[in-house]
Chain A
Amino acid sequence: MNKNWWKILSVLLLVYTIIAGFLLDVPRLPILNETIRNLYFHVCMWFGMMILFTVSFVYSIKYLKSFDYRKDIIASSFANVGILFGILGYLTGILWVNVTWITDQSQSLGSVLKEPKLIGAAIALLIYGAYFVLRGSFTDIDKRARISAVYNIFAFAMLFPSIWIIPRIVGSLHPGAPGSDTGNPALDRKDLDGAMRAVFYPAVIGWTLLGVWIAGLKIRIEILKNKNIINE
């Protein structure tokens, strides 16, 4: 925790993302136009969310191996920040939907929102919501940590493969769905202009580091709160 270089890196990368993201030239495609700049924010939120949930999953496994209460605090804090990133991903996505997918003003939002990726993200948020409801229903700390770790592992292992599979089977407005001329839904070298990649990858790293930073602060607060039950 004392090594702060990555926090500085995170701030630098985010400053770079915001400045370069708004000022550098981007290729213009029909409909998308300048809104492609949202890529640096919207997509990064989902990358960040998945990475944070993955960390939470790994710490739940570690908890079941060691029964060290600190691991449980880490797992729940990362899940918490992951939810925040998911909500931000939705908010940035709504902005994007408004100008790209809804081309006809009379078109209902409901018809647009039945999207495999939106459904997947909604399921992810519901699962982690349920995770916190489950945590709230225990009074015994050890039991809470153990049972919620089991649920976290099970839900993650069920959910994420299907999130990665379903958009490849069902048609989607997102890039990479079958029928569109793009390949992989997330990472394809052909999909993205080289100049944009120079901003996009640092942006992903910057936002993820920010998420880890927030989670780190939460973890430290929780550990301080529970100081008397965590034996050093």
Chain B
Amino acid sequence: MKSRIIELVKKDILIEFRQKHTLYGVLLYIASTIFVIYLSLSENPDVNVWNSLFWVIQLFVCVNAVAKSFLQENRGRMLYFYTIASPVEFITAKLLFNMVLMILMSLISLMLFFLFLGNPTFNFLFFIGISMIGGAGISLVFTLMSAIAAKAQQNAALMAILGFPVILPQLMLLMRLSRAAFGEVFRGGAIIQLIGLITLLDFLVIVLAIVLFPYLWKD
């Protein structure tokens, strides 16, 4: 089972390198969005605006980066996967791959944010950690949403409609946690509590994805 998951992840990475245009497309999307924000603001935004812009961009980047993970698999290829892997292996591989991809995208967009919009963080490393946790959490939710949207033969629009309300609670927790990295003082234990809650939600998403995906898998 483990080896098959690794093989499936390898396959996704390989596809990513063979069809470089999609990867570059997402990178360009990040760069151009942040550049537009940079041009539209006359000076560096203050901490709260910076924070909310960052997370909103993460959301849209995730929709674009993860959307294709199921939409790109055509019918014939899916039929082939049915024969070689179980649904649990397949979704685990997808979750893993998208998580790594989104963490990478988060780091890139964080770098561009620092470059174009200044660095208002008080605790730099802590914010990198938060953006990685956040990117991973968002990608997990949208992986399952992408699987659902692909079944509906719909584009990324449906994925956004399905995913945004579901991701909101997590996003609120993340934005709140981010304020700790901007120097806001929390009462003792609150940060651990928030991190724990976010991790718990991520764990819940993984369990639900593994339980529910077999029902999405075959027609």
Contact residues of A with B, CB < 8 Å?
A: 64, 119-120, 123, 126-127, 130, 133-134, 137-138, 143, 146-147, 149-151, 153-155, 157-159, 161-163, 165-166, 169-170
Contact = CB atoms under 8 A, between A and B. Distances in A.
Interface of B: 141, 144, 148, 151-154, 158, 161-162, 164-166, 168-170, 172-173, 176, 193-194, 197, 201, 204-205, 208-209, 212, 215-216, 219
Contact of A150 (B173, B201, B205, B216): B216
Nearest to B150: A147
Q: Name the residue in B152, B204, B209 with the highest tally of chain A Cβ atoms < 10 Å from its Cβ.
A: B152
B208 A154 contact: yes
A127 B165 contact: yes
Given A126-B164, A127-B165, A138 B208 contact: no
B165 A151 contact: no
Interface of chain A, helix or strand or loop or mixed?
A: helix
Given A158-B204, A162-B201, A150 B170 contact: no
A169 B201 CA distance: 15
Contacts of A147: 148, 151-152, 216
Contact of B154 (A137, A149, A151, A163): A137
A130 B161 contact: yes
Contacts of A137: 152-154, 158
A162 B215 contact: no
A86 to B, nearest CB: 13
A158 B164 contact: no
9 contacts: A64-B215, A151-B148, A151-B162, A153-B212, A155-B165, A157-B208, A158-B205, A161-B201, A170-B172
Contacts of B144: 154
B178 to A, nearest CB: 14
B165 A123 contact: yes
A199 B164 CA distance: 38
B161 A170 contact: no
A90 to B, nearest CB: 16
B103 to A, nearest CB: 21
B212 A154 contact: yes
